[in-house]
Structure 1
Amino acid sequence: MQTRRRTITLTTEVTKTASLKPNLTSAFKHTKSRMSTRTLVTKSGIRSTESNVLESQTSALSIENDITIASTSAKKAMRRTRKTVSPSTATIVTTTSTTGTTEVIKEKVAKTSEEQPWTKRPAHVPSYAKDALDHLCKMDPALAPLIAKHPYRIYTDHDTNYFRVLTRTILGQQIHWKAARSIIYKFVSYYFPDKVTVESLDSGDKTFPTPHQVLSTSMDQLRHCGLSERKASYVQDLAKHFVEGKITFTDKTMLQSMLDKDIASQLLCVRGIGPWTVDMFMMDSLERLDVLPTLDLGVRRGMEKHFAGEYKNGLWGTIVEDTEVDGNGVLVKKIKKKAGVKAKGKAKNGEMTCEDMERMAERWRPYRSIASWYMWRNAGPEGVIAAPI
């Protein structure tokens, strides 16, 4: 009996389970359908997002292309503008695009080039000029065209504060004149704040520290004024020579009795002062007439150009190797080599050595300084090599 009841109960449960199967199948199909719909919606959103990204990239490429075109047009316009610029004027081109038309406006503006300070110095024709130029034309007739083209004039404002002259020369060594002017201003204004300006120094303001003031200034402070460590040591060494009396000339009267070699021997003991600085000092500040600056590039180039006709077989000029006096007491020069000899030290083809320059300039004595003045102007186109005096 009990076994029969259990059989009926199991049969009933199986029947109920079988009746639930269609419902479960329907629910599963409904869920699967909803999931498929959601998947389609998601895929559609992804495609939409990808489409937006592609549109953004296309827009960015379009903007970049526009920028490239505009940059190219600007460069072409700049090239066209450069072609129309003249030495004295500059052309400004303005392009406006309104109502579909392009209007080009050209305006000429005068160009102003900053003048080098020393070109403003007053100059004059010295009293000895006529005799000197006559002598040079007689001894070297090829100088006559240069002398006719460039009337000889020298500066009149020779500075007699020789410590100031030499210090400014050291500060200006191997740098552009604008940088030198800035350093000199910082150097002087450290000792005299609010008393000097760049313009006043350009105009000949003589305000300047004494050797004692410079010698008592620390290296760090001199570096703060814009001097390199090396130039700071040079300036202090120069001040030390003046303070200790190793440089004996302190005024123009004292210098008049000194020979060039005596002046050079005192100056060459100072660190930072070499033969070129000594030559410039004697030619400009002291107005010595028979100085030949063999280390100056401008003078060398001018001499190479001037004596080009005397350059043969890699040798410059004529060498006098021996001299003798005849029976009448007349000096006779024996020339053993007509084409010259190679000087010590190898120079490039066509370049003069210092020995070549000394030999070729013998004919200019005692006015080699004036002949050098003309060699600067003979060196090349005006402005290529500037004459320091």
Structure 2
Amino acid sequence: MTPVPHLKLKRPKSLLYYRMRCQSPVTSTTFEIEKALKHLIEVDPAIAKLVEDVQTPIPFRGPLPEGDNTPYEHLARAIIYQQLSGKAAGTIWGRFKEQFPPGSLSPEEVLAKPAAEMRAAGVSERKASYLKDLSSKFTNGEIDANNLDALSDDDISKKLIVVKGIGQWTIDMFLMFYLRRPNVLPTLDLGVRKGIAKHFNVPSGQLEKAKSAHEQMVKLTEKWIPYRTLGSWYMWQLLDLNKVEPVKKKQKSKK
């Protein structure tokens, strides 16, 4: 799933939560990392250098972190983490969870919780309203947690985009890191845009500002299909390494 091009670029402070901690349950739509790596290296040889240099474990294996076991809880946590540093968000999330019985957070419990009590845990009034809206859509069946695996990326996006406080960036992160969908290209993410610009030797700033950036990114990464998710993750790593050479265009021989 890729977002429409006119939306605002996103690089929330909570990105670290997704890139380093969030891993996915095994679902029918998960992909084999080794198979994805082989494909990317074959179609985009410059990624081979990234694979060699990157020491960060690929975050698409293993169980979810404790306390993040359901789609609802994952999205609720994403809402609280928005626009906050990891430490501050973690503190608020911990206080928020303490207001409920041990175990997985349920939408029914959050829907019944007075907003004033949420604010006492550090949740802003706006985010409390977002959590209420998310909870309502899970309890009334608009979002069926048991049916997400059967839906396409586009269908999931259509269901989640109407939730207050959840935009396309959050949806793309959910698809990538929770459902582990293999072909997600988060074109609203500024880090991915910068990484793609560097990797494909696109002039500095062109993908960050151009209205056609979405279409350009889709076209540039066509060869990554069906593993744009892993390719996008390596674009974040490319920026972190800050030493991998981008693909250089072949110069025409002079006659």
Q: TM-score, normalised by structure 2?
A: 0.76
Is 1:229 matched up with 2:125?
yes
- CA 1:172–1:300 in 2, change beyond 3 Å: closer, same or farther? same
- Deviation string 1:227-262 (CA, Å, 9 cap, x unpaired) is 1111000000000000111002x23xx333211001
Distance 1:267 1:240 in 2: 12
How far residue 129 of structure 1 moved from its aligned partner, in angstroms, is 2.2
Matched with 1:258 is 151
Runs of 5+ consecutive residues of structure 1 not aligned to the other structure: 1-115, 196-206, 317-345, 383-389
Match of 2:99 in 1: 190
Q: CA deviation at 1:311?
A: 4.1
Mapping of 1:299-338 within 5 angstroms? 299-308=192-201, 310-311=202-203
Taking the TM superposition and a 5 Å limit, the aligned residue runs for 1:72-83 are none
Q: Which residue of 1 aligns with 2:247?
A: none
Match of 1:176 in 2: 85
Cα pair distance change 1:131/1:191, threshold 3 Å? closer
Percentage identity across aligned positions?
38
Tell me whether 1:291 sits opposite 2:223 in the alignment.
no
Using the TM superposition, give the Cα deviation of residue 131 of structure 1 relative to its aligned residue in structure 2, in angstroms: 2.1
Q: Which residue is 1:141 aligned to?
A: 45
In structure 2, relative to structure 1, the CA distance for the partners of 1:365 and 1:142 (3 Å cut) is: same
Q: Does 1:347 align with 2:209?
A: yes
What amino acid sits opposite 2:156 in the alignment? Answer: I
Alignment correspondent of 1:4? none
Question: Would the alpha carbon gap of residues 259 and 233 (structure 1) be closer, same or farther in structure 2, given more than 3 Å must change?
Answer: same
**1:156 corresponding residue in structure 2:** 62
Amino acid at match of 1:148: E
What RMSD over aligned residues (CA atoms) do the two structures have, in Å? Answer: 2.8
Aligned to 1:21: none
Q: Any residues of structure 2 matched to 1:3-82 within 5 Å, and which?
A: none
Task: Give secondary structure in 2 for the equivalent of 1:215.
Answer: helix
1-structure distance, mates of 2:35, 2:226: 11
- 2:109 is matched with 213
Q: Please give the alpha-carbon distance, in whole angstroms, between the structure 2 residues aligned to 1:375 and 1:347.
A: 18
Q: Secondary structure at the match of 1:245?
A: coil
Structure with more contact order per residue of length (Cα contacts < 8 Å, sep ≥ 6): 2
* Residue-pair matches, total: 216
Structure 2 Cα separation of the partners of residues 127 and 257 of structure 1: 15
Q: Does residue 131 of structure 1 match 2:20? A: no
2:147 is aligned with 1:241: no
How far 1:184 moved relative to its partner? 0.6
Match of 2:75 in 1: 166
Please give the alpha-carbon distance, in whole angstroms, between the structure 1 residues aligned to 2:121 and 2:168: 27
CA drift of 1:296 comes to 1.1
How much does 1:170 deviate?
A: 0.3
Per-residue Cα deviation, 1:190-229 (whole angstroms, up to 9, x for no partner)? 124xx6xxxxxxxxxxx24311111111221211121111
Deviations 1:259-316 (A, max 9, x none): 10011111111000000000000111101000001111221111111011x549x978
Letter in 1 for 2:182: L
- What amino acid is the match of 2:98? S
> Which of structures 1 and 2 has the bigger CA Rg?
1
- Structure 2 partner of 1:366: 226
Corresponding residue SS for 2:169:
helix
Q: Return the letter of the residue paired with 2:193.
A: R
User: Partners of 2:159 and 2:49 in 1: how far apart?
Assistant: 39
Aligned partners of 2:226, 2:115: CA distance in 1, in Å? 43
Q: Please list every run of at least 4 consecutive aligned residues from structure 1 whose deviation after the TM superposition is greater than 6 angstroms.
A: 120-123
Q: For 1:122 and 1:215, locate their aligned partners in 2 and report how far apart those are by CA, in whole Å.
A: 27
* 2:154 pairs with 1:270: no
